[in-house]
């Protein structure tokens, strides 16, 4: 039977690293749901669509040819034949994406794609509402958190590695702005899903978090 492991939480809580590693260890496909919101935002910006105009954004999204496929154990997509990667991580796009992700029709589009992806096999998906809205019936729900200062440090180190370093204080401010938008929006706000297993990773290593998720999933499967 296909299984879904939902890993939700705020920005830079380690969700994607953990979800990817858990997927690999269990032989599941890894799905980064935030990258689909980022892809929609990127495609809108490319076509010079007003990203505050929800009708224009959804029309631009629906009229594109989206193809999802598996590459190794990761689900990836192309939009009109092109697979954006680094373009999805720019500071401009990171600021814009929270507004696009608050649009109900955009969320419905993403949720349909995520549910279709179960056709690939078992999935580990990271996001904000995977356990609360997209797959509320999955028994494997995790909420990964860490203190804001620690999350800002982690994001800062990532940005330094990719040569996109902003000042540490700016990283913290931008993170807080996004958390506030993602948690306060009306549609599917970031929250702990009913029955989710909460892990605060502030003083844990990635391996410890991965092991905690696997222990919980395997304990439940036993
Ligand atoms: O995880 P991320 O930073 O790549 O997510 C990008 C944006 O999309 C962020 O503003 C939160 C939003 N998002 C969402 O609302 N629901 C999801 N399931 C995943 C991401």
Check residue 82 and report its DSSP letter.
B
Q: CATH number of 4-221: 3.40.640.10, 3.40.50.300, 3.40.50.2020, 3.10.20.600?
A: 3.40.50.300
pLDDT, tens only, 31-53: 999 999 999 999 999 999 999 99
Is the distance from the beta carbon of residue 128 to the nearest atom of ligand 1 less than 6 Å?
yes
| All residues at 6 or more sequence positions from 32 whose CB lies less than 8 Å from its CB, including other chains | 16, 19, 125, 126
Task: Give the model confidence (pLDDT) of 172-210 as tens digits.
Answer: 888 888 888 888 988 888 999 999 999 999 999 999 999
210 Cα to the center of ligand 1, angstroms? 21
Mean pLDDT for 4-25 is: 95
Nearest protein CA to atom 4 of ligand 1, as residue: 34
Check if 37 has its Cβ closer than 6 Å to any atom of ligand 1.
yes
80 DSSP 8-state letter: T
- Taking CA atoms only, the protein residue closest to ligand 1 atom 5 is 34
Q: What is the pLDDT of residue 166?
A: 67
Which of these, 182, 141, 158, 159, lies nearest to 34 by C-alpha position? 182
Contact 13, 146 (CB under 8 A): yes
pLDDT digits (tens, 9 = 90+) for 43-99: 999 999 999 999 999 999 999 999 999 999 999 999 999 999 999 988 889 889 999
Percentage of residues of the chain with pLDDT beyond 70 = 97
Domain spans of the chain? Answer: 4-221
Taking CA atoms, 165 is separated from 27, 90, 98, 156, 206, in Å, by: 34, 11, 21, 7, 22
Do 159 and 171 meet the contact criterion of CB atoms below 8 Å apart?
yes
Q: Which two tokens stand for residue 53?
A: 């105009």
For 134-154, what is the mean pLDDT?
A: 93
């Amino acid at each position: 039977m296909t299984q879904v492991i939902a890993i939700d939480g705020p920005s830079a809580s380690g969700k994607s690293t953990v979800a990817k590693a858990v997927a690999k260890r269990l032989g599941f496909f890894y799905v980064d749901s935030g990258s689909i919101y980022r892809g929609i935002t990127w495609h809108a910006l490319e076509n010079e669509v007003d990203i505050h105009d929800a009708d224009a954004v959804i029309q631009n999204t629906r009229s594109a040819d989206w193809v999802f496929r598996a590459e190794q154990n990761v689900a990836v997509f192309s939009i009109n034949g092109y697979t954006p990667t680094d373009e999805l991580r720019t500071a401009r796009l990171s600021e814009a994406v929270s507004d696009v992700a608050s649009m109900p029709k955009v969320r419905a589009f993403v949720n349909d794609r995520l549910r279709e992806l179960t056709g690939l096999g078992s999935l580990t998906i990271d996001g904000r509402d995977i356990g609360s809205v997209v797959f509320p019936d999955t028994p494997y729900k995790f909420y990964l958190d860490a203190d804001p200062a620690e999350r800002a440090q982690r994001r800062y180190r990532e940005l330094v590695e990719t040569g996109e370093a902003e000042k540490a204080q700016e990283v913290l401010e931008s993170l807080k702005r996004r958390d506030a938008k993602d948690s306060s929006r009306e549609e599917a706000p970031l929250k702990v899903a009913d029955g989710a297993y909460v892990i605060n990773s502030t003083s844990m290593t990635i391996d410890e978090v991965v092991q905690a998720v696997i222990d919980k999933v395997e304990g439940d499967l036993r």
